[in-house]
Chains A and B, each alone.
Chain A
Amino acid sequence: MAGLSPEDLEAFGLTLRLAGAVTVLLLLLGAPLAWWLARTRSPLQRLVAAVVALPLVLPPTVLGFYLLLLLGPQGGVGQLMSRLGLSLLPFTFGGLVVGSMLYSLPFVVQPLHNAFEAIGEGPLEAAACLRAGPLDRFWSIALPMATPGIVTAAVLGFAHTVGEFGVVLMIGGNIPGQTRVLSMRIYDHVEASEYAQAHTLSLLLLAFSFAALLAMTLLRPRVRANV
């Protein structure tokens, strides 16, 4: 094993920043989406649920490839962004955030969806009869009662983003300080036959993943198993 080089540390910091940003954004977007999935009677529900689950089965390179096309200068989103005077997303940190959010979406939405469903109608109906409107019920009943699910979603979303490779490879490139995350760095080390450095970083990720899962199990209240 070798110590961490400045480049390794930079990749480490970038990875934490990326995973943090993705987790926060996904929780903010995923909570309303999961709430809608759990409550709606719309015929679109199953379709949307399937789309949300798609990254579970899709090879990350496929997702990354289409994102590259879509966000690139010839892609629909890319052209729209150019016309609005925005810089293109591929090979930037912003692009990584967008790609990672799509990739980790099901890992955040599904635990939230399950947690919201596990609450059942009873507490929400009781709250409604105590004069709590829909938004009030979401804030003061659904979110607090779904806390274990929110913890699970955050841990899974964070850990999954830390470990991604394929999407980063396709739309991130390997730009130091911009898009060179830990998993890329490990790949570089192996390519350069720097097994000791690869070993250090790999062990770091292994320990982190294990700690995340352990924390998740410990944080979950034992009485309720609604996730």
Chain B
Amino acid sequence: MSGASVDEPRGLVAALTQSRGALKIAFDAALPGRGVTALFGPSGAGKTSCLRMIAGLDRQAVGELRFGAETWQDSRRRIFVPPHWRKVGYVAQAPSLFEHLDVAGNLDFAWRRAGAPARLDRDGLIDQFGLGGLLSRRVGALSGGERQRVAIVRALLSDPSLLLLDEPLSGLDGAAREDLLGRLEALHARLAIPMIYVSHAIDEVARLANHIVLLDAGQVVTQGPLNATVTRLDLPPALIEAAGAVIEGAVTAHDPADHLTELTFDGGTLFLPGDRARVGQRLRCRVAARDVALTTERQSGGSALNQLACRVVAIGDADHPSQCLVQLAAGGTMLLARITRRSSRTLDLQPGSHVWAQVKATALGA
């Protein structure tokens, strides 16, 4: 399990607890100083509470919190750095824009207080999030997606050292959601600061996160690099939805006639539907455990387009007694397959067995 070490410049180390009614929240985590960390868990798992404790918005939280070399909270030493000194950009799930200001006024509120730092590309950010035409609008007249975009750019313009996003896509409909997700992917590619992204949708996490913290009933269940964590066999039932591989590779070819994209990673090649990205670009794809079938021989008469040579690493229980989860290594990449116990017995699967993972290209998203 890799996390932040104490001397990582922008790593976050938290050991915080808080009681919220019947729910006792214990947030013990060490997050890396770069990239996107997802806080993932079902509704009511305490994700938002964890984010608020990091931002310093919950004074009832007890424990320790360090960001790089700075101590943000240490209850034993009575240290509590208030939010306005923490340099966090926090975007709430339903972001509060300043209703008495227009969009430009909202952005400038942050920009001025950060001292209008020249290294932040203000106009570039406004462009990147498509706010150019909205600057003189009253915020009361904005749509849900526009409000989110204003709130995100406002947070970025405050020159934060850490960006906290709380389910920015949850209130949006299909098109607005896809639009903002694309913009967040682009932001991720060039963001120099770490981002913590709360979500209960695994597809968002698969596209954005490098690192994941799984939360259930207020407790951190496990944490680590994204793919190594979501392919673990010991995820609790509440988080089984997260189980499945996230494969990252480079686009190596397009087949325009069949509308397929070829993705090459260290465990082989996958065909994905659609003409996605350009050749040479990095692309991610989530392979859910239930979309993987196993065979002991390479198939020639099947319809599944993708076959990956794998080695069985371990076999674990699924959340239904009829099924099991098989952890596979394709090259250096972990995969999960959910199959019936009967199939596992018939194929005589053991750790070390060599199998072929069959993945329907149609299951890999449009």
**With a CB–CB cut-off of 8 A, which chain B residues contact A145?**
98-100
**With a CB–CB cut-off of 8 A, which chain A residues contact B82?**
128, 133
A83 within 8 A of B: no
A127–B97 Cα distance when bound, in Å, is: 9
CB < 8 Å A-B pair total: 67
**With a CB–CB cut-off of 8 A, which chain B residues contact A131?**
84-85, 87, 110, 113-114, 158
- Which of B88-96, B169-177, B197-205, B231-239 contacts its partner? B88-96
Q: Are B96 and A132 in contact (CB under 8 A)?
A: no
A54 CB to nearest chain B CB (Å): 32
Q: Are A141 and B114 in contact (CB under 8 A)?
A: no
Of residues A120, A122, A129, A144, which shows the largest number of chain B Cβ atoms within 10 Å of its Cβ?
A: A129
Partner of B109, one of A140, A147, A223: A140
Q: Is the interface of A mostly helix, strand, loop or mixed?
A: helix
**With a CB–CB cut-off of 8 A, which chain B residues contact A127?**
98, 109
B114 CB to nearest chain A CB (Å): 7
A194 within 8 A of B: no
Partner of B100, one of A122, A125, A136, A147: A147
Near A by CB (< 8 A), chain B positions 297-322 give: none
A126 within 8 A of B: yes
**With a CB–CB cut-off of 8 A, which chain A residues contact B99?**
123, 145, 224
Near B by CB (< 8 A), chain A positions 112-170 give: 120, 122-123, 125-133, 136, 140-141, 144-145, 147
A126–B94 Cα distance when bound, in Å, is: 11
Residue of A nearest to B157 (CB): A130
A223–B109 Cα distance when bound, in Å, is: 23
A122–B147 Cα distance when bound, in Å, is: 14
Q: Are A125 and B83 in contact (CB under 8 A)?
A: yes
Whether A129 contacts B83 in the complex (CB less than 8 A), given A123-B96, A123-B98, A145-B99, comes out as yes
19 contacts between A and B (CB under 8 A): A122-B96, A123-B99, A125-B92, A126-B90, A126-B95, A129-B55, A129-B86, A129-B88, A130-B84, A130-B109, A130-B158, A131-B84, A131-B85, A131-B87, A131-B110, A133-B84, A140-B109, A141-B98, A145-B100
Q: Which residues of B pack against A, CB within 8 Å? A: 55, 57, 82-90, 92, 94-100, 109-110, 113-114, 140, 151, 154-155, 158
